[in-house]
Amino acid sequence: MLGECIEEYLEYLRCIKCRSVHTIAGYGEDLKHFARQIGIETPMQAVTELQLRNCIGELSRQKYSTASINRFISSLRGLFAYCKKNHYILDDVAIELKSLKLAKHLPRFMTQTEIDRLCNEPDEKNLLWATRDKAIFEMLYSSGCRVAELASLKFQDFTKDYKSAVVKGKGNKERYVFFESDAVKALKAYLAERDLKFPAQSSKGACYVDHIFINQQGTPLKEGGIRFIVGKYSGIEGVNNPVTPHSFRHTFATGMLLNGADVRMVQEMLGHSSINATQRYTHVSKEHLKDIYNQAFPHSGKKD
């Protein structure tokens, strides 16, 4: 039955393929939506390609984004390939499903002035927990970490000098990330204040929390908490230039390439599995360099 196959496939992704929690949740949402449309008790062998295409068409009529529809298609392809491999079905009716073409959007990145202003905002306006928030901003910018990677950082992940750490990215792939002097200084200031605020944790007693970043109740800070913090300082109460944690990652990548870093090295630092994901930033860099050229070159058409 369809419902049983979906549960088995999700368990396979979780235990055998070691997919991330977010990937499994997304696939689960897609496949359960599919099961509701087709019928959870429907035999897998009875599902047709037309039914799959009708479900995809329904998502389009409901104004789902292209990225969401493509994830739905990927979920279907994965499920039916798994069932074919395990001989639950004779024919893979999802094999001909093609992903939709995504519109190309250049990543949103901050200028050096914007990033400096945002990183200094906790010092200017103590909206939440200033030392912690400044450390979060400096570390996001310095390392290019994803928000989930930063939220999951623990003390044992760091080198003794706090200049680098091991993070687990997508697919549980480990990589090193690095923190420059401003980030290390901000982190140490936060940790010193954290020890004063939660002394039981500093001695690694019963209340000790191993996560680097905690909330004001002393429990690990979640991804949503970091997004809230970034939104608070970048929004109307702060610099009034709303950004997301991912904007720091875009800014890191763009800055590295503008300053001559090899695209393959940037790929490694970002934890991208494909060079294509990293090459988006070369387009940003080219556009930025073209703007500088047009402004500076004496024959750019500007009049004296």
Residue with the two structure tokens 């608070």: 232
Among residues 32, 33, 222, 272, the one annotated as catalytic is 272
Report angle CA 211, 213, 218 to the nearest 5 degrees.
Answer: 85
Q: Which of 27, 82, 190, 281 is catalytic?
A: 281
Rounded CA separation 263/268 (Å): 9
- Nearest CA to 265 out of 276, 247, 278 is that of 278
- Non-local CB neighbours of 96 within 8 Å, separated by 6+ positions: 49
From the candidates 32, 168, 222, 246, give the one annotated as an active-site residue. 246
Q: Which of 202, 180, 178, 200 is nearest to 190 (CA)?
A: 202
Amino acid identity for residue 66 in this structure = T
The question of whether 32 is a catalytic residue gets the answer: no
Classify residue 299 by its DSSP letter: T
Q: Which of 146, 190, 194, 250 is catalytic?
A: 146
Supply 21's token pair: 């929690």
Active site residue 170: yes
Burial label for 162, CB within 10 Å (0-12, 13-18, 19+), is: middle
Query: Is 246 one of the catalytic residues?
Result: yes
> Mapping DSSP to helix (H, G, I), strand (E, B) and coil, where does residue 168 land?
strand
- Is 290 annotated as catalytic? no
Active site residue 146: yes
Note whether 229 and 128 are within 8 A (CB): yes
**Has 293 been annotated as catalytic?**
no
Joined together, the tokens standing for residue 68 give 């969401």
The answer to whether 253 touches 173, Cβ cutoff 8 Å, is no
As annotated, the active-site residues are 146, 170, 246, 249, 272, 281
